[in-house]
Amino acid sequence: MKATNKGRYQTTAYQADVNCVVKKDEGGAFFEECAWSNLVVNGNSVTLSPVAQDFRQRLSLDPAANPSVPDLSNVIPLIGPITDSLTFYSDLWLANKLNQLHRVGDHFYFPHGTPNSWADGNYVLLGQDAIDFDFTLADTTADGISTIVVRHLPPANPQIKLSAEWMKVPASDAPNNWVEVEKSGDKFSAEVGKETFDVRLKVTKNGKLLSATMENPVEVLARDCTDAELRRCGDSVRYQIKRQIELVSVP
């Protein structure tokens, strides 16, 4: 997996390897038990803690297995790879479960709205987004490789937690569906905004995920605050976060 994250102050890039073993759970559903390694951030190798090295992420495309976000508090350097891979697998899992994409051009919309969290409890005190899913079977080749396009869009009524009144003002042209609050010393960086994802999945005819890409922009309204209630804050700043992620299967 490779990714770039262009933020307010800097651009961060990471790459990492993930090796997965297929297993069955106690209910008979298939899942992949995945170990992350060889993490490189901005060109520098990152030594993972023993806990992060021993961490095994569970991913599944089996409609009988429900996706879930693991405990991220002890695997902080791997939060990006873990949550990005979960996005790809969750998209394809939902397409499999709803089974509405059969011919090129087939399309359906799935309203969701329930928040997803990436807060680690240490640096990120609050991290949530809420999205709906828009699926299209864009292409199928003669050898059975299908391209599924999944657009993640703001719900009409996002259910994210907004800690202060100023965070309810739309940062863009839709209700805010993304929020993040980070603590640094005795100060708090609070951000809210509109997030979308454009995901493209390459899938074999037997359902194997070959590759995936994601374009993930966020239109942000940010304020730096001196209290946990986010009421004593400086002037607001608007900017864009733009993330690009690529997952490729290696033989």
pLDDT tens-place string over residues 99-147: 999 999 999 999 987 898 888 888 899 999 999 999 999 999 999 999 9
User: Residue 55: its pLDDT value, please?
Assistant: 96
User: Residue 92: its pLDDT value, please?
Assistant: 97
- 10-residue averages of pLDDT along the chain (251 residues): 92 96 93 97 95 96 91 89 95 95 96 87 90 97 96 94 94 95 93 96 93 97 95 95 95 74
d(CA 127, CA 115): 9
Which residues lie closer than 8 Å to 251 by C-beta, 6 or more apart?
Answer: none
User: Residue 173: its pLDDT value, please?
Assistant: 93
pTM across the whole model: 0.88
Q: Which domains does the chain show, CATH number per domain?
A: 2-248 (2.30.230)
